[in-house]
Structure 1
């Protein structure tokens, strides 16, 4: 049967298109559209500070999916037993992550068990994409002490809220051996602030300002330890935190005072946020 002219033209065009699509010389490569899942670094690091301090295996809100991906990767590297792949970033997962960091050649604070940007990105190669990245920044000298740029930005904002400049009695990255700090200042994110010249109300306002921008902060008195009156503050989610400072952050989230007795929190009540959460809100 002879096709009408318009029908023959349509068939011819379709054949040309089909043949072009099967050409081995002009066809574009087919992209792999399978997207990798995301690991929220902010939520994961938060869980790594809080979960080891919990009395049970409860999960940190918003962190389960990301922690599971990290734990599955650690399991596949034979660093974490399958029974601990549960979304709870407890002591076993912290130890496994520290072992992974050491396997990369990291030492010191770079192998503290908190997921850093570089190690987490390497762990996720081909498995997951890292989002909500946190970086402590470079070490800088401020007021005669050393802190990192993330901590400095947080202090600057707290000073703006308070309307007063802080004087730092102690900074971060101590070489160790200070009996009054018990190791909390051996990593990043930890500072002690002088309260000289502040009345009681101003001291409370200062602690509140620090908490608002993302510090776990408390007013310390001589009755609590071998130290003068001061404010102790630890930057939540600083990935350079010493293990002692990590524990203080976890206790802060759990309503405790950050001291060895793990007593109830004695500071002003504010919504607990990280620096990054504060900036977004």
Structure 2
């Protein structure tokens, strides 16, 4: 009888051990199934989350930073610009010493070279990031958020503008309560020598002010600034032109280099002219069209 009891006890212990072992094997299998599988060729130890590049902030920095007299960085753009510069360095377009989160002239030159390597030329390779080149550059290195673009070209008052500019003008008209008539549009290379190339690309218009009082002209400039234009009332004493309002859409990725310079100067409190005079327009909290849309 004792031997039978011992046999039963041994069997019980064996079954218990088997159950415990089965549980351990099952737990290990469940844990393996719950662990994400890294991309092919990449171990779980090296899998990392890619940085995020804010396109709005990057494009803004590309307009402002090259116009600065020092290396002050555009607020909110450091991490995005740094990721772009690291990608340019990795591809051999930018020296390590310029990878610092400041989108200065060296970064602009490097980015233009990268655009040319993609087959772009002219205004499409002037160093101002566009969504196609920025997406291509970031493959495997960063993800892109807050993408922006000019949209399709269309006609307004007999002049060419892009969809983004048209939408901005339409909103300004809604706020003003009357129609704005253009004297000059965008994509007009060589069309007006007094414009110094600012109208060669997109995002830039001249607005007719015939019949407007001084107060009305200033109010139009104010409203244009509110919706995201760098806008100034121009008078004949400043150049060889009649009274008009000159407006450049901040962060339009089709801006000519000269218009980029104007928007950068606007942020730095200047008048956008060759004399680098103080801004003589109405003062507001500067914002882009996208920033305006998010708050209205």
Same fold (TM over 0.5): yes
Aligned partners of 1:52 and 1:22: how far apart in 2? Answer: 52
Which residue number in structure 1 is paired with residue 37 of structure 2? 30
Q: Supply the distance in 2 between the matched residues of 1:85 and 1:255 (Cα, whole angstroms).
A: 27
Residue equivalent to 1:126: 140
CA distance in 2, matches of 1:7, 1:190: 81
Deviation at 1:164, TM superposition (A): 1.2
Write the distance in 2 (CA, Å) between the matches of 1:255 and 1:88.
Answer: 19
Partner of 1:48: 62
How does 1:85-100 map onto structure 2 within 5 Å? 85-100=99-114
Q: Deviations over 1:14-56 (max 9, x none)?
A: 1562585599xx9997245632110111111000000111001
Alignment partner, residue 208 of structure 2:
194
Tell me, yes or no, if structure 1 residue 106 matches structure 2 residue 142: no
SS in 2 for 1:135: coil
Residues 159 and 30 (structure 1), Cα distance of their counterparts in 2 relative to 1, 3 Å cut? same
Counterparts of 1:58 and 1:19, CA distance in 2: 53
Other-structure match for 1:148: 162
Give, in whole Å, the separation in 2 of the partners of 1:261 and 1:82.
Answer: 34
1:14 maps onto 2:23 in alignment: yes
Q: Distance in 1 between matches of 2:290 and 2:91?
A: 31
Aligned partners of 2:142, 2:29: CA distance in 1, in Å? 36
Between stretches 259-268 and 103-112, larger displacement belongs to 103-112
| 1:205 corresponds to | 219
- What is the match of residue 217 of structure 1? 231
CA contact (8 A) 2:53 2:144 kept: yes
CA deviations on 1:169-205 (whole Å, 9 max, x unpaired) are: 0000013252111100000000000011211111111
Q: CA deviation at 1:160?
A: 0.8
CA–CA distance in structure 1, aligned partners of residues 206 and 266 of structure 2: 16
Q: TM-score, normalised by structure 2?
A: 0.88
Tell me the SS of whatever aligns to 1:119.
Answer: helix
Output the aligned Cα RMSD: 2.3
**Unaligned runs of at least 5 residues, structure 2:** 1-9, 40-46
Structural mapping, 1:49-88, within 5 Å: 49-88=63-102
TM-score when normalising by structure 1 = 0.93
Q: Rate the CA distance shift 1:27–1:165 in 2: closer, same or farther, 3 A.
A: closer
Q: Unmatched 5+ residue regions in structure 1?
A: none
Alignment partner of 1:73: what SS?
helix
SS at match of 1:180: helix
Look up the match of 2:187.
173
**Separation of aligned partners in 2, 1:147 and 1:117:** 19
Larger Rg: 2
Instruction: Measure the CA separation in 1 of the matches of 2:268 and 2:26.
Output: 65
Question: Going by fraction, where is helix more abundant, 1 or 2?
Answer: 2
Taking a change above 3 Å as real, the CA distance of residues 81 and 29 of structure 1, as seen in their structure-2 partners, is closer
Distance 1:220 1:181 in 2: 11
Structure 1 position 213, deviation (Å): 0.5
Classify the secondary structure of the residue corresponding to 2:205: strand
